Amino acid sequence: MAAINFGYTISRPRAIDLDRNNLRKSDEILREMPELQTCIGCGSCTAVCTAGNLTEFNFRKVHTLVRRGEYQGAYEEMNKCMLCGKCRLVCPRGINTRGVVLLIKRKLGDF
């Protein structure tokens, strides 16, 4: 049966084993930017994202995965960001999202 295109997709379900993932980088990131823990995952950042409008880049997804210790490809994904700063203005928790982008790139440059 051909899949019906509703104009959006969802991520395939999968399990993340926090005991297996190395959370050292994630801990470092949260220590430098503790406000990231207040994220409620509303996705406003992604909704207004300039880069997300043009590509598959999804800021909420990337920083959520990084916090879970899933670093693979995070640096390359974050590099799609143009740092325009709209996400920062719409974040209901007032998270310094531009700082998060720069921090994740700095910490995960070698992953």
Partner 1 sequence: MSFFAPFCIPFLVGAAAMFAVLAWKWGSWLWCLPRTDKRLILRGLPTRATLEAVGEVVGESLLHRRIFRINPLLGYMHMSLAFGWFLLIAVGWIETMACLGLHWVPIQGHVFFRYFSTGLPHVAAFDFLMDLLLLFVLSGVALAWGKRFFSRRMGMRRTTKHVPGDRVALTALWFIFPARLAAESITCALYGGGGFLTGSIGAWLGAHVPEFGLMNAESVAWWFYSSCLGLFFVAMPFSRYMHIFTEIPLIFLRRYGLRSGEKATSYDEFQVEACSRCGICIDPCQLQSVLRVDDVQSVYFLRDRRYGMLRREVADNCLMCGRCAEKCPVGIDLNTLRLNARDGLRNVPDERRYDYFKGLDRSSGEGKVGYFAGCMTLLTPRTLSAMETIFAAAGEQVWWADREGGVCCGRPLKLAGETDSARRMMRYNTELFRKHGITTLVTSCPICLKVFREDYALDGIEVLHHSEYMLRLLRSGRLALRRGATRFTYHDPCELGRGSGIYDAPRAVIEAVGELLEPEHTRENALCCGSSVANTAITDGQQVRIARSVAGELEATGAEVVVTACPLCKKALGRGTAAAVRDLAEVVAAELK
Nearest to 95 by CA among 50, 32, 18: 32
- Single residue of 41, 96, 107, 110 touching partner 1 by CB under 8 A: 96
- Single residue of 16, 40, 42, 82 touching partner 1 by CB under 8 A: 82
CB 100 within 8 Å of CB 87: no
* Beta carbon of residue 92, minimum distance to partner 1 (angstroms, whole number): 10
CA distance 56 to 48: 13
Site string for partner 1, 44-73 (x = CB under 8 A): ----x-x--xxx------------------
